[in-house]
A and B are shown apart, each in its own frame.
Chain A
Amino acid sequence: MPDDVNLSIRRWRDALASRESIGTEQLDELQDHLEAELRRIPLSGISEEERVLLAARRVGAADTVDRAFFEADPGRVWRRRIFWMILGFFVLAEVPAAVLSVFTGIAALALAMPFPRIVVGPWIVAAHVLVWSGLFFVAWRQASGHQGWVDSMARAFRRRLGWALAIVVAVIIAGPFLAGTARFIFHNWMPVEDFGYLYAWAGYSSQLVGLVIPIALGFIAWACMRKTPA
């Protein structure tokens, strides 16, 4: 195809790409359609750019197509939003802590002091890496449309809503005990204060309230609202 046609197609594609409901796969499919349409428009009489505009008009206005994609699968847009929310949480929660721990480590090395807890907690680092990798993996799979097993989870949630809520409540109540126990087991790296339970609860619940509960409740709400066949 001539260069000016490719440029016009690229412009059309960029305009659609800025829409929230239209992802790369949808763009590829629409572009295939546009090019098929373009081949049917006669070459004579109008400029290449006008041919692309005509074909684009037959495909539909960006607003209309965007809205139709949103209505066909509102969950998809929310999955992408949740991905960016998780990324935001990550940057706010982890990056400052990581920077701080690197600087503390350098300072400890320079001053030949024993490593402070914040630097030498391999279990803490491993747990954080694991949790964040898990979150990113799920969010990425969701945002890129691989949703088979999450869909079946959502269906299971809808069928067993009572159980789902019970599990969330159980995690909230049992979590501090588990966290306290884990800290007790790994006390070499992270000594537990005497009033272990309250201490664990404070640390654990702040993370839980800030991150896990909104995601869990959001997932349950989404699972309830979503219209998928049972």
Chain B
Amino acid sequence: MPSKDLVAASSRPLVLSILERGESYGYAIIQEVKTLSGGELEWTDGMLYPVLHRLEREGLIRSRWGKSETGRKRKYYKLSRDGGKALRAEKAQWVNVHNTLARLWGVRPCPTT
């Protein structure tokens, strides 16, 4: 299980990457992270929303209020153009860190983006 700090640090690229695939909302984003990480990345669900709001304030994602399948209010998010740029920068940084560690540990580095 990754440490709390690592989970917090990875929340930004994770959210941006999920929203790159298309519009989504808080609960679906969390479920996707859980599925993709095989349950290894465990967030306190409520902590995702401040991350989303911060990204929105920074202009990296945009939001709109829509309706859920039960007809209730639901807030949907999608990546903005600046968000796309920020995601590319994030990817480069994470791949860089990963490759440095991979070389030290003698494991396969990931292909560059």
Residues on A lying within 8 angstroms of B by beta carbon are 25-26, 28-30, 32-33, 35-37, 58-60, 64-65, 68-69, 71-73, 228-229
Contact = CB atoms under 8 A, between A and B. Distances in A.
A73 B50 CA distance: 8
Nearest to A62: B46
Given A33-B45, A64-B44, A68-B46, A73 B26 contact: no
Given A32-B27, A228-B57, A65 B72 contact: no
Nearest to A1: B70
Contacts of B26: 29, 32-33
Contact of B50 (A36, A37, A71): A71
B45 A32 contact: no
A29 B45 contact: no
Contacts of B50: 65, 68-69, 71-73
Nearest to A39: B70
Given A32-B26, A32-B68, A73 B49 contact: no
Contacts of A33: 26-27, 45-46, 49
Given A32-B74, A33-B27, A37-B27, A73 B53 contact: yes
Question: Quick one: which of A59, A69, A72 has the most chain B CB within 10 A?
Answer: A72
B56 to A, nearest CB: 10
A72 B54 contact: yes
